[in-house]
Structure 1
């Protein structure tokens, strides 16, 4: 994903209707959001904040940003692969947490 796509995800996930509100949520100026929309890649701190807001692995966003910055096709491909793996790892971790919660509930329920 590109920077502006992550901005759109933050807007959607938080019910925000303007870039100004996204900037306020992230604690930055609206001009920074405008720069992301114009194609600038986000810095790691913004990536961390967005990862927390969207509850996704920060490495997924950082890898996406690095793939955007790369000119070398093989390096770009490697960063895209890391972004994809980070996304899959995040989903797998979430699924394991849900499964663990269900098993814990069943153990407690049947133990009582």
Structure 2
């Protein structure tokens, strides 16, 4: 189950040793938490938010994705979140790679300046007048 990762993280973060104590901390019955862990019941968005807040996460979206993945897995389907997260991860990787190449591949103005002088070309500004 994908949601186990977040339940275990909450236990570790708050020094909780048992599922019963975690259930008390989250405000649910112990059997409800057990059902979350064994896939007999799925965590709702409100509980995802509670869990995210307990882990000091900015957004509950990762936990919601995990809950949806568990739900889809039990129904023998593929979660839309899994497909979406893979696509966004690929797009993010391409954007990061482009940024790194641009950042390190482009010379700074201080590095580019000597290149102009090393070519040996001098520019002279002059005015050419027409003669009648």
Asked whether the two chains share a fold, i.e. TM above 0.5, the reply is: yes
Moved over 6 A (4+): none
Which has the larger Rg? 2
| 2:13 aligned partner | 13
Measure the CA separation in 2 of the matches of 1:41 and 1:61.
Answer: 12
Corresponding residue for residue 105 of structure 1: none
Quote how far apart the aligned CAs of 1:9 are.
Answer: 0.8
3-state DSSP class of the match of 2:43?
coil
In the TM superposition, what is the alpha-carbon distance from 1:25 to its structure 2 partner? 0.6
Q: Does 1:51 align with 2:52?
A: yes
The higher relative CO (CA closer than 8 Å, separation ≥ 6) is in 1
- SS of the equivalent of 1:7 reads helix
Q: Please report the RMSD computed on the Cα atoms of aligned residues, expressed in angstroms.
A: 2.5
TM-score by length of 1: 0.63
Structure 1: gaps (5+ residues): 89-112
CA offset at residue 43 of structure 1? 1.1
Number of residue-to-residue matches in the alignment: 84
More helix by share: 1
Q: Within 5 Å, which residues of 2 pair with 1:1-112?
A: 2-39=2-39, 40-56=41-57, 57-70=59-72, 71-73=76-78, 75=80, 77-79=82-84, 81=85
